[in-house]
Structure 1
Amino acid sequence: MRTVTNYFLVNLAFAEASMSAFNTAINFAYAVHNDWYFGLVYCRFHNFFPIAAIFASIYSMTAIALDRYAAIIHPLQQRMTSTETRVVIAVTWMLALLLAFPQYYYSSTFPLPGRTVCYIDWPEYATVNVQKIYYVCVTLLIYFLPLCIMGCAYTTVGVTLWVSEIPGDSSERYKEQLLAKRKVVKMMIVVVCTFAFCWLPYHIYFLLHQFSPSLFEEVYIQQVYLAIMWLAMSSTMYNPIIYYCLNGR
């Protein structure tokens, strides 16, 4: 079971389980009550960790896509070893924590009449909108860029595996290997499409918040936010179901 793909699947599962454990219920409670009960330290962690977890999740999927691409398109090239795979996972988390660090650094709590808010106190400069630049970079780095890479990789792999028919005189072992490769690729395409569908409204919401803030003065915007947040966070529960249904191992 200690294959390159499975190492990345474990990392993906760890990131999503952590986000479910540390953020989902608290995020929902805060959105419903508009009162932060959990102190400054957890406020910083609460704003910091989801960005890191999403980054680790999506780049685990990207690494799996590139590994499948290398294994199927260039089968004679040397594959990553387990040590190299663990190094890639460690570097992924380091980059994830670095990208999320501004959310930790600028997080703060502020007492209002009857409640406390947890928010990100972005610095204000006359010439640069730090908040807008940061959210655009985050959206590009943890959504559009990795999805483009995975789209190209799986399109090429899909054409290679499905367009070419299995030769009639192939050995049973060859047929089994080809079917196994198809199953893994099919499973990961479903995982990626699920992630893309669940997180797209979330990223659109925050981009609109930066470029069209007047939209967020509407009466029911809090309900819209809760629905979008629920959809995004729900992505963490679908992958185990997908693995169970599409991966016999």
Structure 2
Amino acid sequence: MDPLFNTSAVPNWTASPNDTDNDKEYGNQFVQPVWRIVLWAIAYSCIVIVSTVGNVTVIWIIMAHKRMRTVTNYFLLNLAFAEASMSTFNTVINFVYAVHNEWYFGLVYCRFQNFFPIAAVFASIYSMSAIALDRYMAIIHPLQQRMSSTETKVVVAVIWALALLLAFPQYYYSNTEKIGGRILCYIDWPEYKVCNVEKMYQVSVAILLYFLPLLVMGCAYLVVGLTLWASEIPGDSSDRYREQLIAKRKVVKMMIVVVCTFAVCWLPYHTYFLLNQFFPDMSQKPFMQQFYLAIMWLAMSSTMYNPIIYCCLNDRFRAGFKQAFHCCPCVPEGSYEGLELKSTRYLQTQTSVYKTSRMETTISTVVHAGDDADPTKIKNKGRLGPGGAVVSARPHGSSLDLTSNGSSSQSVSKTVSETSSFYSSYNTQE
């Protein structure tokens, strides 16, 4: 059964209620030999296993490690959830219905089967679109404030609300009916003389789920790619600048591969259903069953490629996959620090931040104590040095010496500034 569109668009083995006489006369003309069903079952089982395991692992990597919870990764989390759900709840049912040409799962699941895949695909493609726009803002307009964690979650909630709204008509008009000894799950679209509701809906869904988001992502990544790759890294640039630029290139490259994979997998599927709206006779050919199973497999397989892409093109996700599957003998042992983003440079920077923070706290405490202290108490607690200056009797007098040295104070300020800059840019790389 078609997970996105009206089942009347599926080749003739899922007849509409008006085909009762033909169904009785010819029966199920699309019965396949057992060996072919077995091969298709293996192919579809691979999608379910790889997609479910891979996307669940991606969800664990992001949720279980605090430093992986960046803006980009929140959208990847939403993408992984949508793909894992669709492969788990819809792929097998689609295959069973397409092969046996009979609906075994009742009216409730018929409505869910027609409803949820549209919502899941909408959430997937618009999560990728949000990542593209976020990358565009971070690279083309780096001085503008990026989305916070709360704002990212609000965007994800809005995406799902729009997805459910778009999919609702297929839920509302879904129905089951027994025809010629077989139960069919189909969408009973209303008929109006003014317009063809089904055709308008299918074209709108194809534009919103495929062509429009791909156009937006294509434009965004084109501008970002020209910005990142148009010029070479200057020879006298700092190591930090080189690391930031290389990291940004890697993230953008990974997302471009994800988008291109999605576009290739879903292009035959959307093309077939758009053509079927204008040339309905094309679905009546006997070979269309095999063609439909092939393009449906390709479309559903898009749910299993993304975890593989993350593992191959992102060091942190690769470390997470190694950690998740470290019990497998074929998986080499990886560095868990890579997943936690604790590189040598990161640890050095964190140490510098900690030391500087402690020094500033000590300085602030001593200076405020000196400003607020009563002069008589200073006389009692200190002693007069050369020239009548009051010298503190506290054992940690070196803290005051640091503030009296202009170069030392400037050095501390510079260290804090550089550290904050690096830490901020480091967190925006994802």
Q: Which residue identity lines up with residue 236 of structure 2 in the other structure?
A: D
1:248 paired with 2:354, answer no
Give the Cα–Cα distance (whole angstroms) in 2 for the partners of residues 87 and 240 of structure 1: 24
| Aligned counterpart, 1:200 | 267
Q: Which runs of 4+ in 1 moved over 4 A?
A: none
Quick one: which of 74, 86, 90 aligns to 1:23?
90
Identity over the aligned pairs, expressed in percent?
Answer: 78
How far the C-alpha of 1:126 sits from its partner, in A, is: 1.1
Quick one: which of 75, 85, 93 aligns to 1:8?
75
Give the Cα–Cα distance (whole angstroms) in 1 for the partners of residues 240 and 277 of structure 2: 55
Give the Cα–Cα distance (whole angstroms) in 2 for the partners of residues 169 and 61 of structure 1: 35
Deviations 1:70-95 (A, max 9, x none): 00000000000000000000000000
| Aligned counterpart, 2:334 | none
Give the Cα–Cα distance (whole angstroms) in 1 for the partners of residues 297 and 177 of structure 2: 25
| Aligned counterpart, 2:11 | none
| Aligned counterpart, 1:139 | 206
Give the Cα–Cα distance (whole angstroms) in 2 for the partners of residues 174 and 84 of structure 1: 28
- 1:160-239 matches, within 5 Å, as 160-239=227-306
Q: Which residue identity lines up with residue 98 of structure 1 in the other structure?
A: L
Show structure 2 runs of 5+ residues with no match. 1-67, 317-430
Quick one: which of 124, 128, 131 aligns to 1:61?
128
Deviations 1:95-126 (A, max 9, x none): 00000000100000011223110000000111
How far the C-alpha of 1:215 sits from its partner, in A, is: 1.0
Q: Which residue identity lines up with residue 101 of structure 1 in the other structure?
A: F
- 1:77-92 matches, within 5 Å, as 77-92=144-159
Kindly tell me the number of residue pairs found equivalent between the two proteins: 249
Give the Cα–Cα distance (whole angstroms) in 2 for the partners of residues 75 and 183 of structure 1: 17
Q: Secondary structure at the match of 1:78?
A: coil
Give the Cα–Cα distance (whole angstroms) in 2 for the partners of residues 214 and 169 of structure 1: 66
Q: Which residue identity lines up with residue 32 of structure 1 in the other structure?
A: V
Give the Cα–Cα distance (whole angstroms) in 1 for the partners of residues 109 and 130 of structure 2: 31
Q: Secondary structure at the match of 2:237?
A: coil
How far the C-alpha of 1:127 sits from its partner, in A, is: 1.6
Give the Cα–Cα distance (whole angstroms) in 2 for the partners of residues 175 and 195 of structure 1: 31
| TM-score of the superposed pair, with normalisation by structure 2 | 0.58
Q: Secondary structure at the match of 1:108?
A: strand
1:106 paired with 2:176, answer no
Q: Secondary structure at the match of 2:176?
A: strand
Quick one: which of 114, 117, 142 aligns to 1:50?
117
| Aligned counterpart, 2:225 | 158
| Aligned counterpart, 1:125 | 192
1:41 paired with 2:41, answer no
Give the Cα–Cα distance (whole angstroms) in 1 for the partners of residues 199 and 166 of structure 2: 15
Give the Cα–Cα distance (whole angstroms) in 1 for the partners of residues 284 and 177 of structure 2: 21
Show structure 1 runs of 5+ residues with no match. none
Q: Which residue identity lines up with residue 179 of structure 2 in the other structure?
A: L
How far the C-alpha of 1:188 sits from its partner, in A, is: 0.2
Q: Which residue identity lines up with residue 20 of structure 1 in the other structure?
A: S
Q: Secondary structure at the match of 1:228?
A: helix
Q: Secondary structure at the match of 1:36?
A: coil
How far the C-alpha of 1:214 sits from its partner, in A, is: 1.2
